[in-house]
Amino acid sequence: MKKNDPFENVITIDGPGGAGKSTLAQGLAHALDWLCLDTGAIYRALALTLTELGLPDATPRAAGLTAQDMGLEFRREGAQCRLFLHGREPGEALRAPEIGLLASAVSAWPEVRSALLPIQRAAGREGRLVAEGRDMGTVVFPEARLKFFLVADLSVRAERRRLELAAQGVEVTLAKVTAELKARDLADATRSLAPLAPSPGAVTVDSTDMTVAEVLALALQEAKETFDL
Q: Does 135 bind ligand DC (CB under 6 A)?
A: yes
How many residues interact with ligand DC (rule CB under 6 A)?
A: 14
Between vectors from CA 130 to CA 47 and to CA 135, what angle results, nearest 5°? 50
Give least dist CB 141 to ligand DC, A.
10
Q: Does 178 bind ligand DC (CB under 6 A)?
A: no
Q: Does 147 bind ligand DC (CB under 6 A)?
A: no
Among 20, 27, 133, 137, indicate the residue that binds ligand DC (CB under 6 A): 133
Q: Does 124 bind ligand DC (CB under 6 A)?
A: no
Footprint of ligand DC on 77-116 (CB under 6 A):
100, 103-104, 107
Give least dist CB 102 to ligand DC, A.
9
Q: Does 141 bind ligand DC (CB under 6 A)?
A: no
For the stretch 187-190, contacts whose Cβ atoms lie closer than 8 Å and that sit 24 or more positions apart, written own/partner, are: 187/104, 187/105, 187/108, 188/16, 188/17, 188/104, 188/107, 188/134, 189/16
Q: Does 148 bind ligand DC (CB under 6 A)?
A: no
Q: Does 157 bind ligand DC (CB under 6 A)?
A: no
β-partners of residue 38 are: 132
Give least dist CB 39 to ligand DC, A.
4
Count of beta carbons in the 10 Å neighbourhood of residue 111:
18
Stretch of 39-47, 60-68, 122-130, 148-156 lying at the interface with ligand DC (CB under 6 A): 39-47
Give one DSSP letter per residue of 92-146, joined into a string.
GGGG-HHHHHHHHHHTT-HHHHHHHHHHHHHHTTT--EEEEESSIIIII-TT-SE
Q: Does 161 bind ligand DC (CB under 6 A)?
A: no
